[in-house]
């Protein structure tokens, strides 16, 4: 009898030799099993490494691109229930895969207050008319409205337009002058529509209107009186548009109407320039705003 593995002549009988061969085959199978297991585990490790590198790449791309989400706090240790299947069909839990990835932080941007934003502590209040106006014909944007917008653009201020509650003002110039004169003679207080913004959030308030018969239009006195408390303690800055009368004492009259406010130097702009020479008006507004101490 010869050993089937070594080929040597054996002293064992056939039954003993059969048992020995069986044992050696079992040992061989068991060794093969260990190798197979090792190889399988090695494959799993390699697979995990591949997944890790894929996850890392994906996270870096997402972080660098900064697309969509602004939340950079990715919880990389959050348990996942994913499984992978290796070449042998064995499922492996990847929940223990935990990586620490630093995603790039987006730089903090300095946000300039937009006109009309809730962050501004500056307000522009104005009254203005469309329709037929002196020297400019029929206009679809009032002269004072144009200046008010420029101030808002320059300062980031919010805006509030004083609009008559019942718009009884005529669209033709001569009729409008009559109505305005009558209101002045009556010391009227025409009502305005809408809700005035909460003035407590503003420290500085620009207030502008056209000069009507050498004075503020009477509806502006309604505004001053209705908001006397809200305007107290504020810095008020008057501006006018006109056709020759300049500021017409807007500053002194505003001080009298709002004695508890600080009134700064005002600006007077020709109405005609608002329609026909906006570059120079913008320059004047910018220069004036820059020189104000508010
Ligand atoms: C009723 C009325 C009265 C006016 N009174 C004067 C005045 O006394 N002095 C002056 O220079 N301009 C006067 N103007 C011209 C306006 O002040 C000027 O056209 C202004 O730019 C109009 O502004 P708005 O378009 O914002 O309403 C008067 C205009 C009207 C309609």
* CATH number of the CATH domain containing 151: 3.40.50.360
284 and 138 within one domain: yes
4 and 80 within one domain: no
- For 116, list phi and psi in degrees, rounded to 5: 85, 0
172 and 84 within one domain: no
pLDDT beyond 80 at 274: yes
Residue 153 CA to residue 176 CA, distance in Å, equals: 30
Measured distance between the N- and C-terminal CA atoms of the chain, rounded to whole angstroms: 114
Q: Report whether residue 270 contacts ligand 1, using a CB cutoff of 6 Å.
A: no
Judge whether 111 lies within some domain: no
pLDDT beyond 80 at 169: yes
Judge whether 67 lies within some domain: no
Q: Report whether residue 286 contacts ligand 1, using a CB cutoff of 6 Å.
A: no
CA–centroid distance, 212 to ligand 1, in Å, is 5
pLDDT beyond 80 at 1: no
Contact 63, 72 (CB under 8 A): yes
Residue 274 CA to residue 141 CA, distance in Å, equals: 10
Contact 106, 68 (CB under 8 A): no
Judge whether 237 lies within some domain: yes
Q: Report whether residue 162 contacts ligand 1, using a CB cutoff of 6 Å.
A: no
Q: Give me the percent of the chain exceeding a pLDDT of 90.
A: 58
Output the pLDDT for position 126. Answer: 98
Nearest residue by C-alpha to atom 7 in ligand 1: 213
160 and 245 within one domain: yes
Q: Report whether residue 92 contacts ligand 1, using a CB cutoff of 6 Å.
A: no
Q: Report whether residue 275 contacts ligand 1, using a CB cutoff of 6 Å.
A: no
Q: Report whether residue 134 contacts ligand 1, using a CB cutoff of 6 Å.
A: yes
Judge whether 116 lies within some domain: no
90 and 31 within one domain: no
The single-letter DSSP state of residue 81 is -
Atom of ligand 1 nearest to the CA of 127: 26
117 against 216, higher pLDDT: 216
- Averaged pLDDT score across all residues of the chain: 78
277 and 133 within one domain: yes
**Domain range for 220:** 122-291
Judge whether 196 lies within some domain: yes
Burial of residue 119 (number of CB atoms within 10 Å: 0-12, 13-18, 19+): exposed
Q: Tell me the pLDDT tens digit for each residue of 181-226.
A: 999 999 999 999 999 999 999 999 999 999 999 999 999 999 999 9
Q: Report whether residue 180 contacts ligand 1, using a CB cutoff of 6 Å.
A: yes
The single-letter DSSP state of residue 122 is E
CA–centroid distance, 159 to ligand 1, in Å, is 21
Non-local (6+) Cβ contacts of 83 within 8 A are 91, 92, 93, 94
CA–centroid distance, 51 to ligand 1, in Å, is 75
Q: Which two tokens mark 115?
A: 């006109």
Atom of ligand 1 nearest to the CA of 245: 11
Write down which residue in 62, 86, 114 finishes a domain: 62
The single-letter DSSP state of residue 89 is S
pTM of the predicted model, to two decimals? 0.66
Within the chain, residue ranges assigned H as helices are: 14-65, 143-155, 173-186, 218-226, 228-231, 250-257, 271-276, 278-291
Atom of ligand 1 nearest to the CA of 180: 1
228 and 137 within one domain: yes
Q: Whats the size of the chain, residue-wise?
A: 294
Q: Report whether residue 210 contacts ligand 1, using a CB cutoff of 6 Å.
A: yes
Judge whether 181 lies within some domain: yes
283 and 146 within one domain: yes
Judge whether 85 lies within some domain: yes
H/E stretch holding 97 reads none
Q: Report whether residue 153 contacts ligand 1, using a CB cutoff of 6 Å.
A: no
Query: Three-class SS of residue 103?
Result: coil
260 and 143 within one domain: yes
**Pocket mutation for ligand 1, best pick of 138, 159, 211, 253 (most atoms within 8 Å of C-beta):** 211
23 and 163 within one domain: no
186 and 94 within one domain: no
CA–centroid distance, 100 to ligand 1, in Å, is 69
Write down which residue in 38, 62, 86 finishes a domain: 62
Q: Tell me the pLDDT tens digit for each residue of 32-90.
A: 554 455 445 555 555 666 667 676 766 665 544 333 333 333 333 333 434 333 434 44
Q: Report whether residue 244 contacts ligand 1, using a CB cutoff of 6 Å.
A: yes
Please give the average per-residue pLDDT across 230-254, as a whole number: 98
Judge whether 110 lies within some domain: no
55 and 133 within one domain: no
The domain tally of the chain equals 3
């Amino acid at each position: 009898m010869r050993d089937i593995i070594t080929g040597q002549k054996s002293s064992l009988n056939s039954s003993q030799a059969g048992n020995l061969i069986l044992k050696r085959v079992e040992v061989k199978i068991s060794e093969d099993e260990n190798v197979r297991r090792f190889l399988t585990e090695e494959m799993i490790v390699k697979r995990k490494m591949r997944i890790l590198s894929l996850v890392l790449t994906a996270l870096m791309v997402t972080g660098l691109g900064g697309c969509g989400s602004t939340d950079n706090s990715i919880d990389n240790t959050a348990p996942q229930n994913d499984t992978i299947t290796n070449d042998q069909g064995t499922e492996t839990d990847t929940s223990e895969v935990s990586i620490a990835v630093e995603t790039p932080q987006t730089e903090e941007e300095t946000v300039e207050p937009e006109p009309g934003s809730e962050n501004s502590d500056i307000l522009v209040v104005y009254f203005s008319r469309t329709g037929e106006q002196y020297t400019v014909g029929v206009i679809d944007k009032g002269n004072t409205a144009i200046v008010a917008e420029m101030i808002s653009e320059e300062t980031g201020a919010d805006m509030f337009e004083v609009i008559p509650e019942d718009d009884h003002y005529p669209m033709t110039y001569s009729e409008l002058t009559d109505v305005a004169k009558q209101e002045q003679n009556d010391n009227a207080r025409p009502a305005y529509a809408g809700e005035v913004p909460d003035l407590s959030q503003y420290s500085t308030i620009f207030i502008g209107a056209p000069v009507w018969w050498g004075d503020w239009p009477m509806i502006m006195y309604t505004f001053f009186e209705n908001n006397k408390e809200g305007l107290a303690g504020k810095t008020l800055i008057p501006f006018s548009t006109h056709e020759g009368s300049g500021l017409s004492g807007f500053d002194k009259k505003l001080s009298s109407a709002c004695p508890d406010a600080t009134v700064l130097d005002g600006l007077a702009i020709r109405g005609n320039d608002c329609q026909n020479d906006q570059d120079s008006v913008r320059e004047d507004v910018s220069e004036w705003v820059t020189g104000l101490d508010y």
